[in-house]
């Protein structure tokens, strides 16, 4: 399982994930905000299963593949 998520993509995933999780505690306080764990997890691992299915790679090198 090689990495397919680049640095900028990882940063954006963490930011979006944190915003979604914040919805659980502030604002509309909806439980759907927990879906923010998915982009955070994929950012930490550096691999996205949806990118694999779609043939997308945002990282520069083929490290780990």
What does pTM read for this prediction?
0.84
Question: What's the CA gap between 37 and 24, in Å, rounded?
Answer: 12
- Per-residue pLDDT tens for 20-62? 999 999 988 889 999 999 999 999 999 999 999 999 999 987 5
User: 3-37: b or e for each residue (b if 16 or more CB lie within 10 Å)?
Assistant: bbbeeebbeebbeebeebbebbeeeeeeeebeebe
> Poorest-confidence range of 2-6, 11-15, 38-42?
2-6
């Amino acid at each position: 399982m090689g990495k397919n998520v680049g640095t900028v993509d990882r940063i954006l995933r963490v930011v979006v994930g944190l915003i979604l999780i914040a919805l659980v505690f502030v604002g509309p306080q909806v439980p759907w905000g927990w879906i923010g764990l998915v982009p955070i997890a994929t950012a930490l691992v550096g691999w996205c299963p949806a990118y694999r299915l779609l043939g997308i790679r945002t990282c520069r090198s083929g490290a780990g593949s």
